[in-house]
Amino acid sequence: MRATQEGHVTDRFSTAVDQLGSDKLETRIGGLRALWRIAEHSARDREAVISIQAAYLRTHLPWPPAGPEAPAADVPINDVVPLQVRSADAQVALTGLGVLLLHPREQSWVNLSVTDLRRADRDGLWLPEVNLDRSCMEGAGLYHANLTQASLVSVDLRHADLKTAVPRRARCVPADLWGARLVQTDLRDADFTEADLREANLRKADAGGAVLRRADLRLADLRGTDLGTADLRQTRMTGALASEHTCWPVGFDHAAAGVGVTEDPGPEPSPLLQPPGITTQHPPLRSMP
């Protein structure tokens, strides 16, 4: 009986993998969903499915973009179609990864490096210990996503929505988060050495133990942000805004760093009342060079 069951799973697995090479979008999506279902019912096949889905994303969405149908690298983010529209099969693969990584795993690190994930929907997905080095996630929706210990080296997260996300202990060196939204985000022990956080909204974020050495926080919103144990050595903060609820390291002179103090914004609005990050129209970045 066990041999029969394993043979049945093997047949389903082979059929699903074959479907990934189809010219028809609906067939590829069917193959990805079949693999996802196999992984949820067969623990021994889960690692293989995760690897296949990650490889599918890397090969179908390389960065810089390749192919006539992919938007060019220099296209303004407001003109880039959301991933779930321009590449529905890739969005299915990404969502499947974010669900399967909820399960305990024997291996660590999923490789999604050098991938074009502009305006991808990753809200609430579980993506700990994922390698996203040198990927482009400009304008991506990462609301409440778990990015614990993720590798985000040289990643492009401009305009990304990371509200209430958990990039705890993530390595963001030197990531580009210009204009990113990090409201109420768990940044504890994350490494943002030399990261570009100009105009970023870090309102009420928890940055305890975060390394922001030589990071650029000019014009950033730091109202209510906990920076009490953060490393702010050589951090540029001219024009940043703070409030009476912003916590600073002992002895740190925020006024001398060029930080202005204004009123606290009060409670944050419900995310249910906000438009999804992938549909937001982003204003041009205006920070000083």
If we measure between CA atoms, which residue out of 260, 197, 277, 263 comes closest to residue 230? 197
% of the chain surpassing 70 pLDDT: 93
Contacts of 161 (CB under 8 A, 6+ apart): 140, 141, 142, 143, 180, 181, 277, 280
DSSP string, 198-265: TT-B-TT-B-TT-B-TT-B-TT-B-TT-B-TT-B-TT-B-TT-EE-TT-B--TT--TTTTT-EE----
Q: Give the number of other Cβ atoms within 10 Å of residue 73's Cβ.
A: 13
| C-alpha closest to that of 201 among 174, 165, 161, 232 | 161
Residue 41, judged by CB atoms within 10 A of its CB (0-12, 13-18, 19+), counts as exposed
- Gyration radius of the chain over CA positions: 21
**pLDDT band at 286, cuts 50/70/90?**
confident
Tens of pLDDT, residue by residue over 250-279, are 999 999 999 999 998 888 777 666 666 667
pLDDT value for 272: 65
Query: What percent of the chain is modeled with pLDDT above 90?
Result: 80
SS3 46: helix
Dihedral of the alpha carbons of 271, 274, 275, 277, in degrees to the nearest 10: -50
Instruction: Please give the average per-residue pLDDT across 192-209, as a whole number.
Output: 97
Say whether pTM exceeds 0.75: yes
Across the range 178-202, mean pLDDT stands at: 97
**CA-CA distance, 68 to 105, in Å (whole number)?**
37
Q: Which of 118, 132, 124 is nearest to 98 (CA)?
A: 124
Distance CA 212, CA 225 (A): 13
Q: Which of 284, 265, 178, 167 is nearest to 224 (CA)?
A: 265
